[in-house]
Structure 1
Amino acid sequence: MSQLSIAQLKQFKNEITRFMMMYKFALDELETKVEILQEEFHFLHDYNPIEHTKSRLKTPESILKKLYRKGIPFSFASIRSHIKDIAGLRITCSFISDIYRISEMLVNQGDLKLVEVKDYIQNPKPNGYRSLHLIVEVPVFMSDRKENVCVEVQIRTIAMDFWASLEHKIYYKYNQAVPARLLAELKEAADSASALDIKMERLHREIEEIKEDRAGENVEELRQLTIDNQSFSLPPALINLLDQ
């Protein structure tokens, strides 16, 4: 390999490294936002709407395959323009209402821009797949410039995530040639998961109403404040300000 081609390879490696780092930093930024929202919600409502999160970056090989599949010319600008799911964040929630609550909190972040919404909960895919998909632009501050980077956010319940995971494994096992009988059963399983989500949502709502009714009975508990495992008693002088 000539000295020139080595230099070119080094330059290309640096370019693709910075390109992938942009998406990694965008994911880091978004995950931090979700953690802050999660912690704030827990303190204010004594309840955690997020079960867990999982992030991923497409590999350069996977990006290249998608370019070929879509007939998109190879360039960094073309990739950014046509492929919006290089960075992905999956948020798994307890209940359906949590999905839309988390989505609303994210969209209300002033520095995030909502690019696209696909609601597969209100409009499930024919195979039964349910999830809420958002494409958001995240500002990333590099050493020499600011970049607005797209991240795909998938928000779903535990039941939706469980079904999607198993459906993916079945497709992988059969190399996507799944027998019609199994496709029908997968659709039935998706409908069962949806019915479970609806039932659990109702139970959750009723339990929350009971908690709210009982919360007003314990005045002493309302005088206590807990942040980061530290408990504080609200001073009487501060409480007296409410009378004013």
Structure 2
Amino acid sequence: MSDEILEETIIDEATALPPSLMNNMAVSGDFYKIAFQFQQIMMIYESAIKQIETKLDILNKESSVNRTRNPISTVKSRLKSPESIAKKLEKKGFDISFDSMMKNLNDIAGVRVICPYISDIYTVRDMLLKQPDLKLIVQNDYIENPKESGYRSLHLVMEIPVYLSKTEHHVRVEIQLRTIAMDFWASLEHQLHYKNDAEVPDSIRRELFRVAETIAMTDREMEEIAIELQALD
């Protein structure tokens, strides 16, 4: 990478940092140092995501060889934006700093796994848990115990080692496992909440919950149909 392109990248990364994060640092003399540090941290998180994605791809290909269908339909990933990181730290009452975000936030790096059926979610989870370099930190099963809104998904916070040329980092990645129907509901519900600043009326909350229940029932029925069809083969 040329010096000119590198400098542009550093400036882009630094100006992306929210004021609340920048104000806690000596920006005037350490501008490039801060930008480099942020860029390096996010590179480590991005590397962790790539490793998780590679594992999922390999496991899915293995399943296609050994089974009649794949347990994974789609894999999506994202890195939290600097603004989102700062807002979440502030909301939780933590210091707004690089050390604080790496220590206190589990979802800076996120991977979403979309599965055809509910049973596939637990199949993929079990395959991940057998990986010797993955360590389960937290599991929240919102399928077995849905949120009040009706939200369903299986959340895993897993720690994976990232090896650089001279250092080793143990990085936490949040993995969300959902069915196609769960992801459809969650994506629309997220848009409704974040595109509308007004308080959501109870009537709409009840309707969203009803739709979530309908989708959950559809998930179960589709899996039953799939089991019946497999029995015919």
**Band of TM-score, shorter chain:** 0.7 to 0.9
Q: Which one-letter code corresponds to 1:189 in the other structure? A: V
Q: Kindly indicate whether the alpha-carbon contact (under 8 Å) linking 2:138 and 2:156 is maintained by their aligned counterparts in 1.
A: yes
Give the SS at the match of 1:136: strand
Aligned-residue offset at 1:46: 2.9
Distance 1:13 1:109 in 2: 34
What does residue range 138-149 of structure 1 map to in structure 2 within 5 Å? 138-149=160-171
Distance 1:176 1:157 in 2: 29
Aligned-residue offset at 1:19: 0.6
Equivalent residue for 1:160? 182
Q: Which one-letter code corresponds to 1:137 in the other structure? A: E
Q: Kindly indicate whether the alpha-carbon contact (under 8 Å) linking 2:63 and 2:69 is maintained by their aligned counterparts in 1.
A: yes
Equivalent residue for 1:77? 99
Equivalent residue for 2:196? 174
Distance 2:103 2:210 in 1: 37
CA RMSD of aligned residues (A): 1.4
Unaligned runs of 5+ in 1: 212-244
1:118 matched to 2:108? The reply is no
What does residue range 3-42 of structure 1 map to in structure 2 within 5 Å? 8-42=30-64
Give the SS at the match of 1:127: coil
Aligned-residue offset at 1:174: 2.5
Distance 1:121 1:210 in 2: 29
Q: Which has the larger radius of gyration?
A: 1
Question: Identity of paired residues, percent?
Answer: 45
Give the SS at the match of 1:50: coil
Distance 1:5 1:98 in 2: 48
TM-score (norm 2): 0.86
Aligned-residue offset at 1:176: 5.2
**Structure 1 residues 113-122 or 167-176, which shifts more?**
167-176
Distance 2:139 2:182 in 1: 18
Give the SS at the match of 1:150: strand
Size of the alignment, in residue pairs? 208
Q: Kindly indicate whether the alpha-carbon contact (under 8 Å) linking 2:27 and 2:34 is maintained by their aligned counterparts in 1.
A: no
Distance 1:24 1:176 in 2: 34
Distance 1:178 1:44 in 2: 47
Distance 1:61 1:173 in 2: 17
TM-score (norm 1): 0.82
Q: Which one-letter code corresponds to 2:143 in the other structure? A: I
Candidates 125, 128, 136, aligned match of 1:106: 128
1:45 matched to 2:67? The reply is yes
Aligned-residue offset at 1:167: 0.9
Equivalent residue for 1:201? 223
